Amino acid sequence: MPLKFARVALVGKYQEPDGAGAGESACKLLLEIASFLEAQGCTVFLDGKTAQATGLKQFEALDLAAIGAKCQLCVVVGGDGTMLSIGRQLAQYATPLIGINQGRLGFITDIPLESYQSALPDMLAGRYEEDHRTLMRGEVLREGRCIFESQAMNDVVVNRGSTSGMIELGVEIDGRFVANYRADGIIVATPTGSTAYSLSAGGPIIDPALPGWLLLPISPHTLSNRPIVLPDHAEVTVEIVGGREANASFDMQSLTQLQHGDRIVVRRDAHQALFLHPQGWNYFDTLREKLHWNKGTGTG
């Protein structure tokens, strides 16, 4: 079977494994998957941090910039957090990503670990479904100067710190004032992020095919402050108006100790992440499985 993807990078979890023997198990799993890819005719490269964490030396190790330049495909073994991190960094290279789920939910790392041997051969040969995901670029401005900048695939969150009490946040859309929110915080989420923190805060699920953002206040003081769906070409600005302590996070990459007058500006990033799924994949099948819709209910 001819290959569409002959040079494949393999990425595993970076964090320290939990429990005795977990590190050895993770190393064994990655070696097994790498050997399977080689058996399909692929040249396998390891992400440098993965190679360092596992001690695997049989494969050439590359940093993410080299993966973007040299590899045709990246296979990520882990959970959605691992995929979010790699997806943000490889988006600028338009490197396709396949996710093998070693985590719990797996909205974007959707191939079950026990199914990768049946799913990968067809995908390596070019039979798959494409799934493009928008990224955000957020920056924190203090007195007009950028003090922090980052991408986000899930969300940008501005929330109160460890002290009790609400914060007051002024929101503008494309430079036009919308409202001052008194709340525990505000989430600006992509469709990908609509099944993350936003979902637990009561926000709607947005199909990733829709070019939109979700603006969601967290526990607002005024109950009429409802979630708003915006076009993703909109620029969202959140200003710290009041409150004792506030911080911002970009896909959980945190910036703490925001000051009154700081402005968090969120725009659409110039790049998109490209996920590949097995043929026949459907977003609603994923939602039904991961959110346990229509599970355990009778018909009568």
Q: Which of 36, 37, 67 is nearest to 51 (CA)?
A: 67
Task: Give CA–CA dist 35/17, Å, rounded.
Answer: 22
Residue 176 half-sphere exposure toward CB, CA atoms < 13 A: 3
* Cβ partners under 8 Å of residue 62, min gap 6: 9, 45, 46, 47, 48, 70, 71
80 counts as catalytic: yes
* Cβ partners under 8 Å of residue 138, min gap 6: 149, 150, 151, 152, 156, 188, 248, 250, 264, 265, 266, 267
Q: How many residues does the chain have?
A: 300
**Whether 136 contacts 110, CB under 8 Å:** no
Per-residue exposure over 125-149, b if at least 16 CB sit within 10 Å of its own CB, e if not: eeebeebebbbbbbbbbeeeeeebe
Provide the β-strand partners of residue 258: 246
Candidates 18, 47, 63, 80; catalytic one? 80
In which region does residue 111 sit, left (phi positive, over 0), alpha (psi from -120 to 50) or beta (all else)?
beta
Three-class secondary structure of residue 180 per DSSP = strand
Catalytic residues: 80
